[in-house]
Amino acid sequence: METDTIAAVATAMSNSGIGIIRISGEESIEVADAIYRNKNNERVLKNYKSNTIHYGFIYDEDEIVDEVMVSVMKKPNSFTMEDTVEVNCHGGILVINRILELIIKRGARLAEPGEFTKRAFLNGRIDLSEAEAVMDIISSKNETALKNSVKQLRGSVHRKISELRNAIIYEIAFIESALDDPEHISLEGYSDKLYDKVNELSYIIEGLLSTSENGRIIKEGIKTVIVGKPNAGKSSLLNLLVGEEKAIVTDIAGTTRDVLEEDIKMNGINLHIIDTAGIRSTEDIIEKIGVERAVQYLQDADLVIYVVDSSVSLDENDFEIMKMIKDKKSIVLFNKSDLNSEISLDELKKFLNNDVIIIRTSTKENTGMDNFEKAVKKLFFSGKIDLDSEILITNLRHKQSLQDALESLNMVKESLKADMPEDFYSIDLMNSYASLGKITGEEISDDLMNEIFSKFCMGK
Amino acid sequence: MFENNDSFVENVDVCVIGAGHAGCEAGLACARLGLETIIFTVSVDSIALMPCNPNVGGSSKGHLVRELDALGGEMGKNIDKTFIQSKMLNISKGPAVHSLRAQADKAEYSRAMRKVLENQEHLTIKQAEVCELIWEDIKDSDKIATKKVTGLKTFTGLIYKCKTVILCTGTYLKARCLCGEAITYTGPNGLQAANHLTDSLLSMGIEMQRFKTGTPARMDKRSIDFSKMEEQFGDEKVVPFSFSTNPEDVQIEQVSCYLTYTNSKTHEIIKNNLDRSPIYAGVIEGTGPRYCPSIEDKVVKFADKERHQVFIEPEGLHTNEMYVAGMSSSLPEDVQLAMYRTVPGLENCKIVRNAYAIEYDCINSKQLYPTLGFKDIEGLYSGGQFNGSSGYEEAAAQGLIAGINAARFIFGKKELTLDRSEAYIGVLIDDLVTKDNFEPYRMMTSRAEYRLLLRQDNADLRLMEKGYEVGLISKLQYDNVIKKKKMIEKEVSRLKNIKIGASKSNQDFLEKHGSAVLKTGTTLAELLCRPELNYEILNELDVGRENLPKDVIEQVEIEIKYEGYIERQLRHVEQFKKMEKKLIPDSLDYDDVLSLRLEARQKLKSFRPVSVGQASRISGVSPADISVLLVYLEQYKRKYNTNGD
């Protein structure tokens, strides 16, 4: 446990000049060698002396991911006093994330928050007087990480994982109750049924894993909220961005009554888009709730897209919105440019901050969208809006857990194929259950006993 | 009360309170280790009484008995002497879950155990109710313990001074039995309850709780129509429980059990009378076990089940009483009679003893170390149902460990603890002292995470060396087990090294046994991994092999056939052991570990785990809390230069 190989991003994860990924533990050099080659295309890290730095490339199979400098530090000459490799790469978030993912794929484990520091202390690198600080780091970082990881999980994914876990624990409970009470519960013909079941479960996990490539396990990306008064074209915009009809679009003001969420990728940047109900003072109770939520989302947003209906004059509702987005990074879409304008750009500018970008669009005719994309890109790369790096790490962690769960299920299948007795594969089923529980942040505790006693009637 | 006359103070080494399955093992262990030991019981006629089911063993419980035997306990030997039917359960499943279960002749079992106790040197049996423990305060800042037990007092006024006391009070403390509206304040079988000790324990600061369990009716054999039931036979070839029993000696004529079922009529009667059940009427305050539900619980909780199995089991050879397994109840006797008589074969049944529920005082076992010694009170140990468990085998296993450690405490030796990777006994005790148990704890195979290693077939290989070190296993037995280990090792490596080529005769052999022919050469070990082949079949390819004992062959086969799985578990055990070895000093104050979350701090303070491993299994303690604890322990170690490892 203390010597397995861990990896994490050591610098702040942002679109700045350079990013460093640190790998520590017995297999760190081996792991790094699996993805690094020098300019002569050789995997040579293990031959290098301690405390040396080397130029080369990170590869994903045969594709170059980045040009890097790699430092090798052999134990005890590193921060953790273990074998350590540090990959200095270009600072793009996406690149850093991809390299970290490759490292994990090659056998390192994603470090727990504060784990490098913990190892440094346990291995005697950090002075006794720092112990309190080390403990503080561990406990506070883990607390926030745990909170975020559950918060960031998409509702639909959370549901799916809960369903998977329920299905798995049911099977384990069945097997175990039969093992404990063979005279009351029989396992005859069960293994064939289980094979199909496990196949079905694996398929769902594979599905979750493939969507995770697009960051759909968690609410990843820049939190982008679309606001505007009713019928300004917000839902049309969402549909344009997503490329499919997600939101119901009608001419009737107030159609979107709740909040729709979608993740999209625009020029390699992930946006987590939230389409809100149009903001207006209303007496309709359901619509009112929608409006209140819209206001809440707006307050949490990293980026606000304010859609203005240029075909009607500005009213109380517009002024209310403009007041709310004053201190937010925002882009204003001067929409319905295909119709006659009732307001001018200058008129609008009077009520907005100077640096706000205004773009003429027609979501109906699909014009102005290229300018919109450029504007988002500019904001992102100028660092005015940024990704929460914690989110990327959470995503990686979840993916790792999903992969572990899948692997355990594969082992169950292998055991079933080899005609192994039930008591062998119920262990792997349990591992799969535990891995999935890590995603939803659940302890195993007495789940199995509870399931056995509530679902199966034990004899005696 | 009365004044005590000091001249009637008796001096012994160990006092064991209770002579049930835990008490017997505890007393025997201490006496066999040379300590003057006295066992108290409310009735000498109830030594090793089986007040509930007439069997020993069963899934995972059979493992406990095997392990107990390998450590030098008595239960395995005693059931081998007194069983009347025996079965190896789960034989169609993996070797790890094979489990022995024997029907006992209850009276014989009790008599045989009493004979062993009565003839054990250094052991005295005393019929008396213990009403009070005698203790004094101690002051030692390095210990958690603030008190020390020094003796006890009986209700009839005698004082016994001793060095250790082992509490094995079973279901007798403030016991009351319920059968419908009828409540009697007795222990099981109408035996006298122990009504005074609880107050003494409470005054020592011991936290008590109340549990409940139940038992079905016993019927007159002559009133049962067995022709309407399925007869259940024992195994043709009986395997003994004890490693020291000669297998030839247990090939006896066996007695049958019978299977019948409840039906909708039975369920209807139960449902119509639920208001007369003390549990459903809210009269029972104790928590009952979910794995051992009463028939009314089964009918209510599993309403969609059309029928439940009922096993009719003999209570012995010299009695007509039959045990009705699967239908324990606390309904009034008239309802019992009505419901039993709806079951095919029981239409005219006569109840000899009615079914009842029993409530009793026990402790919250988090007050114990994994040695089964009390954290707060030096010299005080406990085992069995008093610790919140249930079952004869669970009780016996704890009794043995409590006995061994009470003795080792007196000898000043390091006390024995088994961890979760070493034995089911380790799992049992760790669960008891590490988890909040809200119902009587029963052993189950799913509780053992390393169960592929903890098989009933290798209990001797796992534990006999420990039994020998403790002093309860003879040199001869020890030498034999070492010899066996060597033979297994040698044979496994021999099979791995014998090459089998793709010759015509070899291919013919494989075809004959429905096994795939070889593409390249292989080894005997690899062929043994094939499900359709076994050691005996491979004899033909293995010319001139040495004749090995059956139990050695069994181990060789299991080790090779399941090698991958076993190795994976061994790797997990390695990780597990690392954390078990990180000990937490008694003097550690969790209030000094500022970064622990509040919940974790409270839990750790209340459980006082002995190792980081144990701490990590306490619910409410997260992996981050464990990291914090590790850092703190390192700091502590460097500061005080103590050895945390």
Lowest mean pLDDT among A311-325, B185-199, B387-401: A311-325
Judge if A326 and A367 occupy the same domain: yes
Contact at CB, B595 and A139, closer than 8 angstroms: yes
Longest CA pairwise span in chain A (Å):
84
Which chain B residues touch A1 with a CB distance below 8 Å?
Answer: 575, 578-579
Judge if A374 and A400 occupy the same domain: no
Q: Would residue A33 count as lying in a domain?
A: yes
The tokens describing B603, both together, are 């839990």
Q: CA quadruple B9, B15, B21, B25: dihedral positive or negative? A: negative
- Encoded amino acid at B22, one letter: A
Contact at CB, A179 and B446, closer than 8 angstroms: yes
A176 touches chain B (CB under 8 A): yes
- CA–CA separation, B516 and B606 (whole Å): 59
pLDDT at B132 over 80: yes
Q: What percent of chain B has pLDDT over 90?
A: 87
Range of the domain at A416: 131-211+393-441
Judge if A425 and A346 occupy the same domain: no
Which chain B residues touch A143 with a CB distance below 8 Å?
Answer: 597, 624
pTM for this one?
Answer: 0.86
Which pLDDT tens digit goes with each residue over B52-96? Answer: 999 999 999 999 999 999 999 999 999 999 999 999 999 999 999
CB A346 within 8 A of CB A374: no
A268 touches chain B (CB under 8 A): no
Of A126, A146, A172, which residue constitutes the final position of a domain?
A126
* Ramachandran quadrant class, B90 (left: phi over 0; alpha: psi -120 to 50; beta: rest): left
- CA–CA separation, B64 and B75 (whole Å): 10
Burial letters for B69-88: b for 16+ Cβ neighbours within 10 Å, e otherwise? bbbbbbbbbbbbbbbbbbbb
Of A96, A126, A156, which residue constitutes the final position of a domain?
A126
Judge if A223 and A205 occupy the same domain: no
- CA–CA separation, A293 and A276 (whole Å): 8
CB A308 within 8 A of CB A279: no
pLDDT at A1 over 50: no
Q: Would residue A327 count as lying in a domain?
A: yes
Judge if A78 and A30 occupy the same domain: yes
Judge if A223 and A339 occupy the same domain: yes
* A182 closest CB neighbour out of B59, B446, B531: B59
- CA–CA separation, B144 and B146 (whole Å): 6
Mean of the per-residue pLDDT values of chain B: 94
* A424 closest CB neighbour out of B94, B624, B631: B94
Q: Would residue A274 count as lying in a domain?
A: yes
Report the CATH number that the domain containing residue A81 is assigned in CATH.
Answer: 3.30.1360.120
Burial letters for B235-254: b for 16+ Cβ neighbours within 10 Å, e otherwise? eeebbbbbbbbeeeebeeeb
Report the CATH number that the domain containing residue A375 is assigned in CATH.
Answer: 3.40.50.300
Lowest mean pLDDT among A2-16, A267-281, B628-642: A267-281
> Where is B212: in which H helix or E strand?
strand B208-215
Provide CB contacts within 8 A for B568, sequence distance 6+.
none
A423 touches chain B (CB under 8 A): yes
> Where is A109: in which H helix or E strand?
strand A109-110
How far lies A328's CA from each of A299, A321, A349, B300, B481, in Å? 8, 11, 15, 59, 77
For B640, name the nearest residue in chain A, comparing CA atoms only: A128
Judge if A296 and A400 occupy the same domain: no
Judge if A231 and A344 occupy the same domain: yes
Which chain A residues touch B591 with a CB distance below 8 Å?
Answer: none
ipTM exceeds 0.85, yes or no: yes
Lowest mean pLDDT among A279-288, A366-375, B384-393: A279-288
Judge if A207 and A261 occupy the same domain: no
Mean of the per-residue pLDDT values of chain A: 83
Which chain B residues touch A445 with a CB distance below 8 Å?
Answer: 619
Q: Would residue A135 count as lying in a domain?
A: yes
DSSP string, A297-363: HHHH-SEEEEEEETTS---HHHHHHHHHTTTS-EEEEEE-TTSPPSS-HHHHHTTS-TT-EEEE-BT
CB B22 within 8 A of CB B75: no
CB A398 within 8 A of CB A371: no
Phi, psi of B304 (to 5 degrees): -80, -10
For B324, name the nearest residue in chain A, comparing CA atoms only: A460
B631 touches chain A (CB under 8 A): yes
pLDDT at A248 over 90: no
Which pLDDT tens digit goes with each residue over A170-202? Answer: 999 999 999 998 888 888 889 899 999 999 999
B93 touches chain A (CB under 8 A): yes
Q: Would residue A48 count as lying in a domain?
A: yes
Q: Would residue A86 count as lying in a domain?
A: yes
For B91, name the nearest residue in chain A, comparing CA atoms only: A182
- CA–CA separation, B378 and B605 (whole Å): 19
- Is the bond preceding residue A76 a cis peptide, omega within 30 degrees? yes
Which pLDDT tens digit goes with each residue over A27-37? Answer: 999 999 999 99
Judge if A86 and A193 occupy the same domain: no
SS3 content of chain B, % helix, strand, coil (to 5): 40, 20, 40
Q: What is the 3-state secondary structure (H, E, C) of B22-87?
A: HHHHHHHHHHHCCCCEEEEECCHHHCCCCCCCCEEECCCHHHHHHHHHHHCCCHHHHHHHHEEEEE
- CA–CA separation, B324 and B354 (whole Å): 11
Judge if A52 and A153 occupy the same domain: no
Contact at CB, A118 and B631, closer than 8 angstroms: yes
Among A227-231, A325-329, B429-433, B632-636, which range has the highest average pLDDT?
B429-433
Residue among A136, A441, A157 nearest B635 (CA): A136
How far lies A210's CA from each of A204, A400, B49, in Å? 10, 13, 61
- CA–CA separation, A105 and A31 (whole Å): 9
Report the CATH number that the domain containing residue A398 is assigned in CATH.
Answer: 1.20.120.430
Residue among B489, B464, B458, B467 nearest B551 (CA): B458
Which of B85, B631, B636, B641 has the most A C-beta neighbours within 10 Å, making it the best mutation to test the interface with A?
B631
Q: What angle do CA B91, B97, B101 make, to 5 degrees?
A: 70
Which chain A residues touch B590 with a CB distance below 8 Å?
Answer: none
A121 touches chain B (CB under 8 A): yes
Of A126, A141, A166, which residue constitutes the final position of a domain?
A126
Judge if A52 and A95 occupy the same domain: yes
- CA–CA separation, B99 and B585 (whole Å): 39
CB A281 within 8 A of CB A317: yes
Give chain A's domain count. Answer: 3
A387 touches chain B (CB under 8 A): no
Q: Would residue A460 count as lying in a domain?
A: no
